[in-house]
Amino acid sequence: MEQDPGFIAAIEEAKQGLAEGGVPIGAALVSKDGKILGRGHNMRVQKGSAVLHAEMSALENSGRLPASAYEGATMYTTLSPCDMCTGACILYKVKRVVVGENVSFMGGEELLKNRGKEVIVLDNAECKELMANFMKEKPELWYVFVFVFVFGCCDARGCIGFLVLFMVIDTDAGCGTGMRISLSSFIRLAYVALNTLRIDNDSNREMGVLFVSM
């Protein structure tokens, strides 16, 4: 199955997405007689799109087809499909979903099975490597984060500084399922967040980073 033209196309699409500076997830929709109806990759970064995940791109690039074209079709995707893409596969009555890997992210596989879809997880090393490298090198594109810093200094007898850090973290693909983050990614995110906040006071910035590093 890893030699299926649809799966090979999905990996090629993921690599294309990476080369464009985007999220390396690819997909291909293949008809029951083996014809690639459409292929595509995640375009969230490239197009600033909220909906063009790899599977959605593949569906979009397949164009407007009659319902019969999706009968018995297979959606190949390099990463476990999120709830949106799971819903799209159910909506268009795709028969089978072949998933490259679900270690980096676990999406709606159970829902697909509950709706009678065949789900095959290949646990493909190349797909895992693509995502692992991407999450390591560009965590700011994958993880969604919010930092709130509160600095204060007030006490009747003098000044006591305090800092409160509140952080919400999620993935670009959906709500938290399968989220993993390394310490180095976490620290890099902290730097990105601090620069985003444009904290001008250098000592405050150092204090914030020190706190995050702990």
**Which residues form the catalytic set?**
55
**Residue 176, helix vs strand vs coil:** coil
- For Zn ion, the closer of residues 11 and 190 by Cβ is 11
Contact with Zn ion (CB under 5 A): which of 23, 82, 89, 98? 82
- Span from 35-43, 81-89, 145-153, 161-169 in contact with Zn ion (CB under 5 A): 81-89
- Span from 24-32, 85-93, 145-153, 190-198 in contact with Zn ion (CB under 5 A): 85-93
E-state strands within 88-201: 96-99, 118-121, 143-155, 158-171
Minimum distance from CB of 156 to Zn ion (Å)?
55
Minimum distance from CB of 54 to Zn ion (Å)?
7
Contact with Zn ion (CB under 5 A): which of 11, 23, 27, 85? 85
- For Zn ion, the closer of residues 84 and 169 by Cβ is 84
List CB contacts of 90: < 8 A, sequence separation 6 or more: 111, 112, 115, 117
Residue of 154, 158, 88 lying closest to 117 (CA atoms): 88
Site for Zn ion in 43-72 (CB under 5 A): 53
- For Zn ion, the closer of residues 84 and 141 by Cβ is 84
**Residue 77, helix vs strand vs coil:** strand
Residue of 9, 8, 43 lying closest to 23 (CA atoms): 43
> Taking CB under 5 A as the rule, does residue 30 contact Zn ion?
no
C-alpha 86/C-alpha 146 separation (Å) is 27
Other residues' Cβ atoms within 10 Å of the Cβ of residue 198: 7
Minimum distance from CB of 163 to Zn ion (Å)?
37
Judged by the rule CB under 5 A, the positions of this chain that interact with Zn ion are: 53, 82, 84-85
